[in-house]
A and B are shown apart, each in its own frame.
Chain A
Amino acid sequence: MSMPMPKANNGSAGPGRSSASAAPVLRVRDLSVTFRTEDGRISAVDNVDFEVADGEVLAVVGESGCGKSVTAMSLAGLLPRTATVEGSVQLDGVELIGAGKRTLRSIRGREIAYIFQEPMTSLNPVFTVGRQIGEVLGVHNGLSRAAARRRAVELLKLVGIPSAERRVDDYPHQLSGGMRQRVMIAMAVACDPKVLIADEPTTALDVTIQAGILDVLRELRERLGTSIVLITHDLGVVADLADRVAVMYAGRVVETAEVHDLFARPTHPYTAGLLGASPSAGRHAGTDRLNEIPGLVPVLAEQPDACTFADRCPRALDTCTTKQPLLTGDAHQVACWNPVREPVEAR
């Protein structure tokens, strides 16, 4: 499934290649993740399905604890050993769940790359950025030292670092937070991955810096056709960059739609609640009250046969506590017994 590419900020028309008929680059089916902990089992992700098309930006949104990061880490094979992963994650038709170490090693970093929220913790403080990018390149491409350095400079330019020839010899602590995140992106895209997973890539940054990072991601998608899974809790970031959105609640995807459609016609009560809670432009306390969602995201030992949002939901019916709603619909899917509106198929 793939959506018409919305116009990007600078007015160009998305990636050149046509993705309308192409098979998805990433196909996730029935993905479930549980953790063994001292307090027993935790179910963090439950039967999640989604697809990402070539050059598509899929945003995954939800409050903290909804399972966004666990989903992202399971795609990149980064979960700790206490995790049990079930289901299927296919990258260009190759199954990653249960795959051997060699398959995974050749895929991780090369075909599927990951960037984290806090760039400082994932950069090595004792090596220059050039050396760290070179390391990634060397591992995957067997480049010579000089060639690796040249490529590192190219990559730093690609992610918009000024005077890249000089900056390539800097250590991470010599860079600002925004530059470090750019370096992280440079490392992530060094091997031209098919899929880039960005977990809250701008959450720790100022809006002025964030705007630049979002532009870099947009450029990557346009120039290299990289597919991006963008994890965020910021609806402004979603509105800026995403083609399609999956809303997660307590480990399940509760709504998924093309981005304009989601904002225009939020259909799951949780999605509608999130949008109404956001103090968006023009609202003022004197005349306007923000929507509150009482209660908290639950931590579940087991996924019940019920809607897990029921105890916070203003529209809950009796059925909601006795039977799990499943995702229905085609382009705009929603899992709810009493949706805010009937899902309308987009064009």
Chain B
Amino acid sequence: MNALELTDLVMHFGPVRAVDGVSLRIRKGTVVALVGESGSGKSTVGRCVVRLLEPTGGTVRLADADITHLNRRQLRKHRRNVSIVFQDPAGSLDPRLSVGDIVSEPLRLMRQRDTAGPVADSLRRVGLRPEVAQRSPHELSGGQRQRVSIARALISKPSLLVADEPTSALDVSVQASVLNLLADLQRDLGFACLFITHDLSAVEYLADEVAVMYLGQLVEQGPRERIFGVPAHPYTQALLSAAPVPDPTTQRARRPVLLGDDLPSPIDPPSGCRFHTRCPVAVDRCRTVVPESRVIGEGGHRVACHLVNDDGTGPDVRRTQDTTTDTGAAR
């Protein structure tokens, strides 16, 4: 059973093709991480899922309902099922409201009167004392504010949580406590989660499946072990190779694949494979023919690249670069 199913999701802002045909499903109770560079369209997907945006095309299905084009009033019924947590805990909490008002808001929007009990429960669940309800969000630390956002998102017991860079603004030690908390809550409450981030170590820690986004489209998706173990798409390989690991011996033996700084504009994305302008192994066909997304392995491992074979074998740009580095060509 799926908690979320996106089919050919499209979201254009005038000429900006922020999301351009994304298909993705999240099975009940699992965590799918959505990764990619800044501007690739991750947050836009998240905002379509919680219907802060109305998609330009395609469909958004929650467990039992197509919510793609529901209006405000029709959406109210589904609000309970899906919540969102944002990156910036300071910016996303109204400083004029008390923590209690903030956390209870989803219930009040659903016309529930008695909220004191659920608020206390929800605060306790995220590791805050219920007395915090009387405080104002600006009296809290960044980590505590992020806990408040999570308490608010979970108070309606949603079956799907969208977490958009929930730990990116936090220090490692605070990030650790928020990641532990999300893992515990997810296990105890069993909600599904769309975890949007550009931090690959957090992805490996929390996700069951990973979807890699480039310029508004998914280039690869599949189970965590496969994406980290046998990444097939050249962009996924480059992304993994670029994230430094906190161990000097390992890190210094690695060699990041350098892609160049220029992410093309989503207003005028490259023809053929959108990644061809930065792909180290692109061939002629890549400039003209759009690669179809195909299943290449177990667990629904899919990739969209001409050079990947049906059994998942194909180029590894990390190795390609190894052989060229000695000549200095790749650096």
Indicate which residue in A162, A239, A260, A282 contacts B260 across the interface (CB closer than 8 Å).
A162
The digit string for A231-271, where 1 denotes a CB below 8 A from any CB of B, is 00111111110100000000000000001100100000000
Is B252 close to A, CB under 8 A? yes
Check B247 against A263 for contact (C-beta < 8 Å): yes
Is B16 close to A, CB under 8 A? no
Provided the pairs A207-B198, A259-B248 are in contact, do residues A292 and B173 lie with their beta carbons within 8 angstroms? Answer: yes
What A residues does B171 contact at CB under 8 A?
63-64, 233
**Shortest CB distance B205–A (Å):** 4
What B residues does A211 contact at CB under 8 A?
241-242, 244, 256, 258
Indicate which residue in B174, B205, B250, B256 contacts A279 across the interface (CB closer than 8 Å).
B205
Question: Which residues of chain A in 252-299 are interfacial with respect to chain B, using CB atoms and an 8 Å cutoff?
Answer: 259-260, 263, 273-285, 288-294, 296
Is A7 close to B, CB under 8 A? yes
Question: Which residues of chain B in 246-280 are interfacial with respect to chain A, using CB atoms and an 8 Å cutoff?
Answer: 246-252, 254-256, 258-263
- Tell me the complex Cα distance, A294–B198, Å: 25
- Tell me the complex Cα distance, A274–B176, Å: 10
What B residues does A277 contact at CB under 8 A?
172-173, 175-176
Closest B residue to A270 by beta carbon equals B173
Check A278 against B246 for contact (C-beta < 8 Å): yes
Question: Which of A98-106, A133-141, A174-182 forms part of the interface with chain B?
Answer: A174-182
Question: Which of B19-27, B90-98, B177-185 forms part of the interface with chain A?
Answer: B177-185
What B residues does A169 contact at CB under 8 A?
none
Check A179 against B248 for contact (C-beta < 8 Å): no
- Tell me the complex Cα distance, A281–B202, Å: 9
Check B172 against A278 for contact (C-beta < 8 Å): yes
Closest A residue to B141 by beta carbon equals A296
What B residues does A8 contact at CB under 8 A?
252
**Shortest CB distance B142–A (Å):** 9
- Tell me the complex Cα distance, A187–B261, Å: 18
What B residues does A293 contact at CB under 8 A?
173, 176
What B residues does A284 contact at CB under 8 A?
204-205, 224
Question: Which residues of chain B in 40-69 are interfacial with respect to chain A, using CB atoms and an 8 Å cutoff?
Answer: none
Is B70 close to A, CB under 8 A? no
Closest A residue to B183 by beta carbon equals A285
Indicate which residue in B205, B261, B263 contacts A290 across the interface (CB closer than 8 Å).
B205
What B residues does A122 contact at CB under 8 A?
none
- Tell me the complex Cα distance, A165–B179, Å: 46
What A residues does B174 contact at CB under 8 A?
63
Question: Which residues of chain B in 142-180 are interfacial with respect to chain A, using CB atoms and an 8 Å cutoff?
Answer: 171-177, 179-180
Is B116 close to A, CB under 8 A? no
Check A179 against B261 for contact (C-beta < 8 Å): yes
Closest B residue to A283 by beta carbon equals B205
- Tell me the complex Cα distance, A207–B176, Å: 20
Is A206 close to B, CB under 8 A? yes
What A residues does B201 contact at CB under 8 A?
236, 278-281, 283
**Shortest CB distance A67–B (Å):** 14
Check A207 against B200 for contact (C-beta < 8 Å): yes
Is A191 close to B, CB under 8 A? no
Is B206 close to A, CB under 8 A? yes
**Shortest CB distance A183–B (Å):** 11
Is A82 close to B, CB under 8 A? no
- Tell me the complex Cα distance, A159–B141, Å: 38
- Tell me the complex Cα distance, A276–B179, Å: 13
Indicate which residue in A10, A162, A239 contacts B251 across the interface (CB closer than 8 Å).
A239
Check A206 against B251 for contact (C-beta < 8 Å): no
Which of A177, A207, A234 has the most B CB atoms < 10 Å from its CB?
Answer: A207
Is A208 close to B, CB under 8 A? yes
- Tell me the complex Cα distance, A274–B173, Å: 6
Provided the pairs A10-B331, A289-B180 are in contact, do residues A240 and B141 lie with their beta carbons within 8 angstroms? Answer: no
Check B252 against A7 for contact (C-beta < 8 Å): yes
**Shortest CB distance B157–A (Å):** 21
Check B261 against A176 for contact (C-beta < 8 Å): yes
Provided the pairs A279-B176, A284-B204, A292-B173 are in contact, do residues A9 and B252 lie with their beta carbons within 8 angstroms? Answer: yes
Check A240 against B242 for contact (C-beta < 8 Å): no
Closest A residue to B254 by beta carbon equals A9
Is A77 close to B, CB under 8 A? no
What A residues does B250 contact at CB under 8 A?
239, 281
What A residues does B228 contact at CB under 8 A?
281
What B residues does A235 contact at CB under 8 A?
172, 246
Is A210 close to B, CB under 8 A? yes
Is A325 close to B, CB under 8 A? no
**Shortest CB distance A44–B (Å):** 17
Closest A residue to B187 by beta carbon equals A285
Check B252 against A282 for contact (C-beta < 8 Å): no
Closest B residue to A66 by beta carbon equals B171
- Tell me the complex Cα distance, A275–B38, Å: 27
Check B246 against A233 for contact (C-beta < 8 Å): no
- Tell me the complex Cα distance, A149–B64, Å: 64
Is B243 close to A, CB under 8 A? yes
Question: Which residues of chain A in 169-209 are interfacial with respect to chain B, using CB atoms and an 8 Å cutoff?
Answer: 176-179, 182, 206-209
Which of B38, B171, B242 has the most A CB atoms < 10 Å from its CB?
Answer: B171
- Tell me the complex Cα distance, A279–B183, Å: 13
- Tell me the complex Cα distance, A111–B265, Å: 39
Seen from chain B, the residues whose Cβ lies within 8 Å of a Cβ on chain A are 37-38, 141, 171-177, 179-180, 183, 198, 200-202, 204-206, 224, 228, 238-239, 241-252, 254-256, 258-263, 325, 331
Can you pick out 10 interface pairs between chain A and chain B where the beta carbons lie within 8 Å of each other? A9-B255, A64-B171, A179-B261, A233-B171, A233-B172, A238-B246, A242-B248, A263-B247, A278-B176, A280-B246
Other A-B contacts than A206-B38, A239-B248, 8 sampled, CB-CB below 8 A, are A63-B171, A179-B262, A182-B261, A207-B243, A236-B246, A240-B252, A285-B179, A294-B177
Sort A-B residue pairs by CB-CB distance and give the 5 closest, nearest first.
Answer: A236-B244, A178-B261, A235-B246, A285-B183, A211-B256
